[in-house]
Amino acid sequence: MAYARRTAAFVAIACTAGISPAIAAPEWMLMDRHGGCVSLFDAAQRKEIFGGVSTPDQLIEKFQHEDAATQVNDTVVGGARVVEITSAKLGLAVVLVPRSVCQKLDGAGSSN
């Protein structure tokens, strides 16, 4: 849970610092424990479950197919959708945020 609280704090800071929701569908990223981000494409190179997904809803569906007890926390923080997906069976707990949040956290306007 500390991971989720820390992640929520990073997202809240980024969102309140001036990120506005994008008009187009956002590119989704996985947030790591230290506030950095990894693209779903890069994550798929390491773990098969991330392959072929580009949205939180697609990833939720894959998790639930593997583990009916998957837990999902889908919230809006500072105007940005934040999705936490946890599966004890898969041993995974991930947080997805729009790329715009990652860019704001990165400070340089780019991310992986």
pLDDT tens, 75-105?
998 889 999 999 999 999 999 999 988 888 7
Q: Which domain holds residue 17?
A: 2-106
pLDDT at residue number 34: 81
pLDDT of residue 55 exceeding 60: yes
Q: Strand, helix or coil at 32?
A: coil
Amino acid identity for residue 48 in this structure: E
pLDDT of residue 20 exceeding 60: no
Amino acid identity for residue 75 in this structure: T
Residue 112 lies in a domain: no
- Token couple for 111: 């991310």
The whole-chain average pLDDT of the chain stands at 82
pTM metric for this prediction = 0.73
Tell me the sheet residues that pair with 3. none
**Could you tell me which residue, 8 or 102, shows the higher pLDDT?**
102
> Distance (Å, rounded) from C-alpha 77 to C-alpha 36?
17
> Distance (Å, rounded) from C-alpha 37 to C-alpha 29?
6
**Could you tell me which residue, 73 or 79, shows the higher pLDDT?**
73
> Distance (Å, rounded) from C-alpha 61 to C-alpha 109?
31
Residue 18 lies in a domain: yes
Residue 111 lies in a domain: no
**Average pLDDT, stretch 36-65?**
95
Q: Which of 56, 38, 21, 6 is nearest to 102 (CA)?
A: 38
pLDDT of residue 48 exceeding 80: yes
- Own/partner pairs for 47-52, CB < 8 Å, 24+ apart? 47/92, 49/90, 49/92
pLDDT of residue 66 exceeding 90: yes
CA-only gyration radius of the chain, Å: 13
Amino acid identity for residue 56 in this structure: P
Query: How many structural domains compose the chain?
Result: 1
